Amino acid sequence: MEKRLYWIMIISMMGWCAAFSFAPALMHFGSGGTAWAENIRMIFSPFCHQLPQRSLQVMDGPMAVCGRCAGIYYGTLISTVGSFHFKKFYFDLQKSNRWLWLSLLPVMIDFGLEKTGLISTGIVIHIMTGMIPGWTAGVYIITGIVDWIVPEHINN
């Protein structure tokens, strides 16, 4: 049961990342793909501002999420894949929420530097600062789901 649950989470997260990553390609090929791309953008719109100038460009179009959100989702995907191999480490890590708060520091520093006008960071920095809390949040999300669905996993 537990192994199947990990695979379900990995495949789900891969689908989530593929959806926002390939939306511009769907738009590029036109016809029926345009409607799909617009629906994907609509799905992600409550979670992200989707400003084109803050998004990675794929096939001459912006991804369905900004660079920082893409980093968060990619970080969560990496965390999901890692959870399959580093289960004990993940469960030990999530015992303290200190790591979750510390992982937000790079995002807060980047955001603060941009808002104060001291420095303007680019899309690569946004993705990297998003991946850190994305990975950390993934640890908490995955261990929480496994804890909830397979509570006896700790004894194994």
pLDDT digits (tens, 9 = 90+) for 87-100: 777 777 777 778 88
User: Would you write out the chain's pLDDT as a tens digit for each of its 156 residues?
Assistant: 578 888 999 999 999 999 999 998 888 877 677 888 899 999 999 999 999 999 989 888 899 999 999 999 999 999 989 887 777 777 777 777 788 889 999 999 999 998 898 888 889 999 999 999 999 988 888 888 888 887 765 545
Residues 6+ apart with CB under 8 A from 95: none
Q: Which domain holds residue 18?
A: 2-155
Q: Where are the alpha helices (DSSP H) in the chain?
A: 2-29, 32-44, 67-85, 87-93, 98-103, 105-116, 123-149
Each residue of 130-150: pLDDT tens digit?
Answer: 999 999 988 888 888 888 887
> In sequence order, what are the beta bridge partners of 58?
61
Give which of 151, 156, 146 is closest to 4, Cα–Cα.
146
Total domain count, the chain: 1
